[in-house]
Structure 1
Amino acid sequence: MLKYSFIVLLGACSYGVLSTFVKLAYGKGFTPTEVISSQFLVGWLSMAILYIFTQKQKIQGKTFIKLALVGTTICLTGTFYYLSLQTLPASIAIILLFQFTWIGIILESIHSKKKPQVKIIIALLLLFSGTLLAAGTIDVTATFSFSGILLGLLAALSFALFIFFSGKVATNIPSIQRSFYMTCGALLLALVLFPPTYFIQGTTDQGLVFYSLSLGILGIVLPTLLFAIGMPKIGSSLGSILGAAELPTAVIMSVVVLHEAVTLVQWLGVVLILIGIAYSQKKDQSFALQQHTHSTDHP
């Protein structure tokens, strides 16, 4: 279990690196359309190469459609989040995005018809408190548009759905094959929403390739593949908690790469998030006691 938790954690950290590369790309003058569509195109091409050289399992057309639909949630998450940033302060947008943690836990509870474990609830409270602190000071004088808030919540819902269905749909299929089919759905939607006009305009000659490769590998290939491997093993409740590693990664990257100032309060928030993630890995004492009793009764 710990191995698969670590795999999902790596996937979340990979997502956390994205904001830094997006900011760098925007600083070079590239538009959201250029960044997003090229990201998904490179991600799909990379997954296609892996798909060609790996073992494949024959599937029905409806299974491909299901996995492609799961992939559309990857595209929707980025799209809704980027659009929310146009009308909301970054601190508010981040807080709205991180609602995916409790949304994911509710989805899992409805599916399993079981209440969340106490440790998951405690970890969730730690994460939410840490997110409020790590997001930075909220500008109370800023005006918040209803559309921006709605888009931020839709980004959270999309990410929660991705985490949930990554561990539920066609889990018997090899992980690379599943991931490739997901990226097919993500690419198709991205090309519809953000047509790749940069091929006509010659933007690729201006350095877009570097950011496309970085965002495609870190934002599409790695998280999709790692979630496809780990999520079926750990479940979406724990997966939602581990997904919160995205924010501490984003904060650390902003300091190391972008040289942005981070306050002591924000670092405290990062620590709280990390504590929440670590606590979610704590084994239930009752389970451990049962295991101990079982071992003593059957030497």
Structure 2
Amino acid sequence: MTRYVLMVFAGACCFGILSTFVKVAYQEGYATADISGSQACLGMLVLWALYLLKKPATPAAQTTTAWWKVALAGTSIGLCVHLYYLSVQWIPASVAIIFLMQFTWIGMLLEWCIFGKRPSRLQGCSILLIMAGTVMASGLCAQRNIILPLKGILLAAASAVIYGIYVVASGRIGNDLPALKKSALIMSGSTAAIFLVAMPGFLFHPEVLVSGLAKWTVFLALFGTIIPPLLFSAGIPRTGVVLGAILMTAELPVAVITARLVLGEAISLLQWAGVAVMLLGITGGRK
């Protein structure tokens, strides 16, 4: 069991470092569309290659889910990533992750509104804890002179809403498909969405990749769209969904710590307390 717990934890840590290094890529002059588009595209190609090269040990089971439904669900994660990366142009990476993690209670509300699955009393308390922790962790209470650009906040909030939609949709669509195939289809939809919405420049000027974008493409695809899905698909079935979801909250403190170490973003004790409160609410809401 320890092995699979570490797999899920490592996958969450991979997600947690992304926003910080997107900030570093911005400092080198690369555009959001090129960063998110190249990451999704390379991830899609690698996942399809792994799926096609893998020899099934047993005959494939009959599936009923149409491929386009899974790809359509994947468009939401593509839009989420693109909006999230846009948000860190305007607000600190350690704050952007705070807003993104609101997807946990947004997903609960979507399930209630769409499927009639009403949150339990414990989950209701968790929502309140997450909201309280968000105010604390954002830093607005610690320093009155902090002004976060509204555009960055709205972009991060929009990414959280879309991520909530993705979590609800992906949990119900394509579960009869092999994990690699589902991941590849999701990334296909993700790539298509980013290409349609943002139209990355490297599609028309491939020399951008050679000039230096390639290193960020490989890094972000590896830690954002290749390693985590593989670790989650192997680990979560063994740990169980509840424990897996709790382990995935490691993304939050890892993102904050990475932003502090790499970007030098100041984080107060009150903000750390807010992160702790959010983690308490998130883990409580998963039970």
TM-score range, shorter chain: 0.7 to 0.9
Q: Does 1:234 align with 2:237?
A: no
| Matches of 1:66 and 1:151, distance apart in 2 | 26
1:207 to 206, 212, 220: 212
Deviations 1:193-248 (A, max 9, x none): 343433625222332222111111222223444556649x637xx94x76554321
Q: Partner of 2:224 in structure 1? A: 219
1:155 has 2:159 as partner: yes
CA distance in structure 2 between the partners assigned to 1:261 and 1:87 by the alignment: 16
The match for 2:111 is: 108
Change (3 A) 1:64 1:52: same
- The residue identity in structure 2 corresponding to 1:125 is L
Question: Which of 1 and 2 has greater Rg?
Answer: 1
Shift of 1:121: 2.9
The answer as to 2:62 corresponding to 1:47 is: no
Q: CA separation of 1:92/1:202 partners in 2, compared to 1, >3 Å: closer, same or farther?
A: same
CA distance in 2, matches of 1:5, 1:126: 25
Deviation, structure 1 residue 66: 0.6
The residue that corresponds to 1:190 in the other structure is: 194
Unpaired segments of 5 or more residues in structure 2? none
CA separation of 1:141 and 1:204: change in aligned 2, threshold 3 A: closer
Quote the offset at 1:88 in angstroms: 6.2
Inter-CA distance 92–252: structure 2 relative to 1 (3 Å threshold) = closer
- Structure 1 residue 271 corresponds to structure 2 residue 268: no
Given residue 251 of structure 1, which amino acid in structure 2 is its aligned partner? V
After superposition, the CA RMSD in angstroms is 3.6
CA contact (8 A) 1:80 1:152 kept: yes
Q: Is 1:128 paired with 2:131?
A: yes
What is the TM-score of this pair, normalised by structure 1?
0.76
Contact 2:132 2:274 in 1 (8 A): yes
How big is each residue's C-alpha offset from its partner over 1:88-115, in whole Å with a ceiling of 9 and x where there is no partner?
Answer: 6767755543331211012233455343
Deviation of the 1:173 alpha carbon = 1.4
Asked if 2 retains the 8 angstrom alpha-carbon contact of 1:179 and 1:228, the reply is: no
1:68 partner amino acid = A
1:165-210 deviation per Cα after TM superposition (whole angstroms, max 9, x unaligned): 2221121211111101111111122222343433625222332222
Question: Which one of the candidate residues 256, 279, 284 is aligned to 2:261?
Answer: 256
Percent of aligned pairs sharing the same letter: 35
Are 2:176 and 1:164 equivalent residues in the alignment? no
Instruction: Answer yes or no: is the 8 Å Cα contact 1:50–1:176 preserved in 2.
Output: yes
